[in-house]
């Protein structure tokens, strides 16, 4: 995924350029190319993920050497951290309650980002259950993105920020989670990136499925409770109780 820190932090271990912007900011990217009257800033190798900017928005480019690889042990799965589905559900419920975010929405993001793998690492360097980029994790106070509780806490806090920023528009918040708020603001909506649009659709589809399942379960529980009350109040049940007490 593309990080929230798209305009301020390294986006990938393979980034090879720094783009200096006319507004005083700079951004790290893989490469750039002119496309007609605009410049495409590619966030990763290949041609699928890019931001289009006007040449006047860019002042200069700088070649940046590839950073050294992160120490192996930091990226390897830790044998001491075993996360069960029940543990994950409890973490998501607690985080959702703390940040006033639907736990099913958090679970849908975890499903799309890492498929529940606490040690997942993306090609861009995003880590953990909710795929936090190192710079984003640091901004959120997450010292170990592979620690499930820290990752969920940080990812939930960030999603809460995005939902407030976009006035509880889930689609825009998800697009910003995937592509960064700068891209959402630039295009005044979901950016025209295939990856981002597919991501938003996938998370919303999973979220709707979970909500429907939760509603069906609630209906089943209410019906079961109603039938139990009726059974207790029926004459046959009353007679059975009286007969039992007479013995």
The model's pLDDT over 232-241, given as tens digits with 9 standing for 90+, comes to 887 655 555 4
pLDDT at residue 123, as a whole number: 86
pLDDT at residue 65, as a whole number: 61
pLDDT at residue 73, as a whole number: 38
Q: Is the pTM of this model over 0.75?
A: no
The model's pLDDT over 154-208, given as tens digits with 9 standing for 90+, comes to 999 999 999 999 999 999 999 999 999 999 999 999 999 999 999 999 999 999 9
Does residue 20 or residue 215 have the better pLDDT?
Answer: 215
pLDDT at residue 241, as a whole number: 47
Q: Which of the following is catalytic: 57, 97, 113, 223?
A: 113
Does residue 188 or residue 4 have the better pLDDT?
Answer: 188
What is the C-alpha separation between 183 and 194, in angstroms, rounded? 13
The model's pLDDT over 6-38, given as tens digits with 9 standing for 90+, comes to 333 333 334 468 888 887 776 777 788 898 898
The model's pLDDT over 40-60, given as tens digits with 9 standing for 90+, comes to 887 767 676 678 889 998 998
Query: Does the annotation mark 113 as catalytic?
Result: yes
Does position 243 have pLDDT exceeding 60, yes or no?
Answer: no
Q: The domain 80-196 is classified under which CATH number: 1.10.530.10, 3.40.50.12780, 3.30.360.10, 1.50.10.10?
A: 1.10.530.10
- Average confidence (pLDDT) over 82-103: 92
What is the C-alpha separation between 41 and 53, in angstroms, rounded? 8
With b for 16 or more beta-carbon neighbours within 10 A and e for fewer, the 112-147 pattern comes to bbbeeebbbbbebbbbbbbbbbbbbbebbebeebbb
Domain ranges of the chain: 17-63, 80-196
Instruction: Give the C-alpha distances (Å, rounded to integers) separating 154 from 4, 129, 158.
Output: 12, 10, 6
- Average confidence (pLDDT) over 130-142: 93
Under 8 Å between Cβ of 32 and 41: yes
pLDDT at residue 76, as a whole number: 40
List strand residue ranges (DSSP E) for the chain, in order.
17-21, 26-29, 31-35, 38-42, 50-53, 58-63
What is the C-alpha separation between 57 and 21, in angstroms, rounded? 6
């Amino acid at each position: 995924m593309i990080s929230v820190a798209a305009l301020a932090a390294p986006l990938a271990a393979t980034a090879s350029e720094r783009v200096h912007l006319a507004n005083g900011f700079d951004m790290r990217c893989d490469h750039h190319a002119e496309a007609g009257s605009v410049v495409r800033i590619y966030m990763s190798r290949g041609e699928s993920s890019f931001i289009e900017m006007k040449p006047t928005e860019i002042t200069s480019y700088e070649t940046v050497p590839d950073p050294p690889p992160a120490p192996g042990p930091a990226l390897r799965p830790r044998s001491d951290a075993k996360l069960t589905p029940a543990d994950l559900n409890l973490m998501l419920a607690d985080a959702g309650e703390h940040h006033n975010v639907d736990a099913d929405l958090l679970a849908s993001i975890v499903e799309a980002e890492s498929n529940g793998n606490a040690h997942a690492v993306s090609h861009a360097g995003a880590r953990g259950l909710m795929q936090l980029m190192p710079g984003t994790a640091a901004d959120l106070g997450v010292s170990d993105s592979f620690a499930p509780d820290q990752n969920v806490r940080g990812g939930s806090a960030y999603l809460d920020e995005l939902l407030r920023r976009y006035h509880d528009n889930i689609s825009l918040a998800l697009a910003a989670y995937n592509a960064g708020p700068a891209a959402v603001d630039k295009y005044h909506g979901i950016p025209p990136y295939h990856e981002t649009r597919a991501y938003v659709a996938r998370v919303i589809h999973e979220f709707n499925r979970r909500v429907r399942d939760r509603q069906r379960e609630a209906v089943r529980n209410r019906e079961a409770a109603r039938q139990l009350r009726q059974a207790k109040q029926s004459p046959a049940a009353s007679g059975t109780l009286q007969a039992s007490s007479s013995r």
